Amino acid sequence: GRVKRVVGGVPAKPTQIQWQIALEENKRIDCGGAYIGGCWVITAAHCVRPNPRAFRVKFSLWKKSRAQDTTDIVPVEDIIIHPKYEQHYLYINVLYSFTASVLLWANVSLINDCGRFYGNRFKPGMMCAGDVEGSVDSCQGDSGGPLVCVDELGVSYLWGIVSWGERCGQPGFPGVYTQVAHYFEWIRLHIGWSAVTKF
Ligand code: 4AZ
């Protein structure tokens, strides 16, 4: 497959990014997501349709596909889309088939005042990350996947969700992410406090 993927990434070590999931729709993988605890996974709304039966969640992505056991692939019971999600904010996404290779990750910096790059397409609840030169970025296929901040104790916090951008790795067009904190109350309303897992 000709999957477009993270720019400037390096392979993850086994179990390094345990919260990363892959979202499978009718045997294809076009999106990622993050396990946040309990029975909850978070992803980008443009990755899903309100039809849980079309999707499965794949865990343990560091395992070679033949080493995956049945519990690494789980069905989806329900899909909750944020009420303010508006499809017309999105660009048309070309879907790439994910003949899966290895999970890659990259170090990105948070970039402030992203309206200078994207004008009024950049809206509240969005944030930008990468670098201005375009040497690190997320890309198609990464959508819905996690951007985490790691604190001084090594605890990872879900900060952003891969959302959109002007192609990938383009100078002056950093990747745009959903700012998780902006939706925290809504997320908490659905999952409750107890569900949040510490990684
Ligand atoms: C996409 O279409 C997409 N460079 C995801 C991330 C970025 C661009 C496009 C950011 O899913």
Of 140, 170, 171, 145, nearest to 158 by C-alpha is 145
Nearest-atom number in ligand 1 for the CA of 44 is 11
CA torsion through residues 105, 106, 110, 114, sign: negative
- Ligand 1 centroid to Cα of residue 193, in Å, is 30
Q: Which residue's structure tokens are 């909750």?
A: 80
Q: Is the CB of 164 under 6 A from ligand 1?
A: yes
Atom 2 in ligand 1: residue holding the nearest Cα: 140
Interface predicted TM-score (ipTM): 0.97
- For ligand 1, the distance from its centroid to the CA atom of residue 69, given in whole angstroms, is 30
Return the DSSP state at 160.
E
138, 166, 176, best to mutate for ligand 1 pocket (most atoms within 8 Å of CB): 138
Q: Residue 58 pairs with which residues in a beta bridge?
A: 22, 73
Q: Return the structure tokens found at 161.
A: 């969700």
Q: How many C-beta neighbours within 10 Å does residue 37 have?
A: 16
For ligand 1, is residue 60 a contact (CB within 6 Å)?
no
Q: How would you write the pLDDT of the chain (199 residues) with one tens digit per residue?
A: 345 778 999 999 999 999 999 999 988 999 999 999 999 999 999 999 889 999 999 999 988 888 889 999 999 999 999 998 986 554 433 334 484 578 999 999 999 999 999 999 999 999 999 999 999 999 989 999 999 999 999 999 999 999 999 999 999 999 999 999 999 999 999 998 878 899 9
pTM metric for this prediction:
0.92
Return the ligand 1 atom nearest residue 137 CA: 4
Q: What are phi and psi of 194, to 5 degrees?
A: -60, -20
Burial-class residue 110 by CB neighbours within 10 Å (0-12, 13-18, 19+).
Answer: middle
Contact 98, 1 (CB under 8 A): yes
The neighbouring-strand residues paired with 147 are 160
CB distance 145 to ligand 1 below 6 Å: no
CB 138 near ligand 1, within 6 Å: yes
Provide the pLDDT for residue 9. 92
CA angle in degrees (0–180, nearest 5) for 169-8-134: 25
**162 pocket-lining for ligand 1 (C-beta < 6 Å):** yes
- Closest to 110 measured CA to CA, from 180, 44, 17: 180
